[in-house]
Amino acid sequence: MTEASQTRITDKRMIKRLFSYLKGHTWSFILSIFMMLFSVGITIILPYLLGRASKLLGQTGSDFTEILIIVILYAVCVVAGAFFQYYQSIILQKIGQDIIFKIRQEVFSHIQSFSNDQFNKVPVGKLVTRVTNDTNTLSEMYTSVIVNLLKNIFTIIGVFVAMLILNARLTLLVLILSPLLVVISFIFRKFSRGAYREVRNNLTNVNAFLSENISGMKVTQVFNQEGKKRKEFRERNNALKKSSLKEIFIFGVFRPSIYVLYLLTTALVLWFGARTAIGEISFIPKVGYDLIITFTQYIDMLYNPLQQLAEQFNILQSAFASAEKIFAVLDTKPEIEDEEDAIELEDLNGEIEFKNVWFSYLPDEWILKDVSFKIKPKETVAFVGATGSGKTTILSLIVRNYDIQKGQILIDGINIRDLKRASLRKRIGQMPQDVFLFSGTILSNIQMREDDIRFEDVKQAAEYVNADKFIEKMPNDYHEEVRERGNNFSSGQRQLISFARTVAHKPKVMMLDEATANIDTETETLIQDSLKKMMNIGTMVIVAHRLSTIQHADKIIVLSKGEIVEEGNHQELLKQRGHYYKLYQLQMQDRIK
């Protein structure tokens, strides 16, 4: 999914895939095509009517009635053309917006299926760009380019046929400069795709940089790195500017070139036509001034679509560049998927077992080495050990955020690979150290938009974990606004909201990671009281640095360098005077200091 590893998609395959989204809108699209054909037909008739009217006006004793009929017919054609264009535009806008809605939903849903490891590899800003900027680029392609591209092609064909019918030799004169047009279009096509691809890559880099650095602005300010970050942003912004100017230059050269060809062709027709009309050129039959007027109108109608084709090709190239990136995301398979015969976990007793588990994030760099343990239903088990010993990894493996390389993980005796991930995670409550709160209210963050969880359930859960003590002091209690990432709450308050969220969803297994890290003493007391209560709900798996929070655990497993070195309850481990005893002594000394 990285830029370097993207597989280039051929135009044929790209078009086929983009057109597949028109399914369900076939009849509306066909109707817009018919409206477009009517509009093209009317457009081609107008120059002929204008030429006919000019011929009648140039004749002495012309019938005014016939001129009036032509004027009325011209006006009717103009109104009818406007009518068809209006309704065609409405239909296409609806189709386009429906398709873009569908693509955004598809991309976002697919991103949700990625594993934690995949999110670690790809900057969030790049994924945001795919869902927003790149889909917006596709929007114009569906709403205007596709049908108008066909319209311009049919217009060119229709005008050419009309000119042939009126005067074949004069038509051949119009085509004299067409080889130049083909050469210019070929050169434009060659250089434009690369330019658009470069613009999309640089835009993605800018968005990724902004997403990361705005989120980490506090750290930037703490270390006084604003100047360095401005320089880094200037470099990325400058790269985007240069690629955008390159794109503008390519298009800026192409369109005037087409316009010059249009002027030269018009001049040729006027010169030859005028000389033919006065009899100076004999190899072209004598033509009237009305035909010259009609041909100049048709030349405009021929080259105007060609200029529009350039602009539409401009949008099409940009859309293809964006589509490549969108399809690169959609074609990236989730690293962790349900097996074809995976089953629903209907109920959960809470028994967890690791059998000879080996796991690594990087090849041959083992985080867990032959780890085996068993947690009984409704048992509270804590994992302790030095940073990097594999404690948090165990929690991630239980809910299958990552897949192990060797061994087995069993839930109620069933291998978690045989279970559907959604049903597994639904019955396991996770309380991470870095609590993430969404923009909204306290109520919405506890409910997590679950309709089954009533307001009474939320209040009960908050009271159970002591979160009500600070929530009800808020001006709007449970309807208090939560800003982005919960920045208007303290770490302890966010943790208690996380506890309430977990309890409200009534899990059978609860997993807690570093609950009291960076928490003040008063909040730690509330959290410890909450933990004692939650231990009665079901199986609880705890990762903790502060040993005071796990002294009442049924079992404590001590990890060192990915291996289990000790196992037992608090008193048993102290008697062994091993790793756990040393950790406990160090923490007691720190508290005395």
Residues 504-548: pLDDT tens digits?
A: 888 889 898 876 555 566 666 777 777 777 777 789 899 987 787
Alpha-carbon gap, residue 569 to 576, rounded angstroms:
11
Spell out the domain ranges in the chain.
12-330, 343-427+512-593, 432-506
Alpha-carbon gap, residue 461 to 310, rounded angstroms:
62
Q: Edge-to-edge, what's the strand order for the sheet holding 365-375?
A: 365-375, 352-362, 406-411, 414-415
**Second-level CATH architecture of 343-427+512-593:** 3-Layer(aba) Sandwich (3.40)
Judged by average pLDDT, the poorest of 161-175, 255-269, 302-316, 328-342 is 302-316
Residues 5-63: pLDDT tens digits?
A: 455 667 788 888 888 888 888 888 888 888 888 888 888 888 777 777 776 666 655 66
Q: What per-residue confidence (pLDDT) applies to 409?
A: 95
Q: What per-residue confidence (pLDDT) applies to 368?
A: 95
Mean pLDDT score of the chain: 83
Residues 457-515: pLDDT tens digits?
A: 899 889 888 888 889 889 998 999 988 778 888 888 888 888 888 888 888 898 988 76
CA 50 to mean position of chain CA atoms? 51
The answer for residues whose C-beta is within 8 angstroms of residue 512's C-beta and 6 or more apart is 431, 531, 540, 541, 542, 543, 544
Residues 116-141: pLDDT tens digits?
A: 778 877 777 778 888 888 888 888 78
Q: What per-residue confidence (pLDDT) applies to 572?
A: 93
Q: What per-residue confidence (pLDDT) applies to 3?
A: 46
Dihedral over alpha carbons 124, 130, 133, 135 (to 10 degrees): -150
Q: What is the mean pLDDT of residues 250-259?
A: 80
Token pair for residue 561? 């360098």
Q: Are 308 and 129 in contact (CB under 8 A)?
A: no
CATH topology match: 12-330 vs 432-506: no
CA 215 to mean position of chain CA atoms? 19
Q: Report the percentage of the chain scoring pLDDT > 70.
A: 90
CATH number for the segment(s) 12-330: 1.20.1560.10
Q: What per-residue confidence (pLDDT) applies to 4?
A: 42
Q: What is the pTM of this model?
A: 0.69
Domain at 432-506, CATH from 3.40.50.300, 3.40.605.10, 3.40.250.10, 1.10.760.10:
3.40.50.300
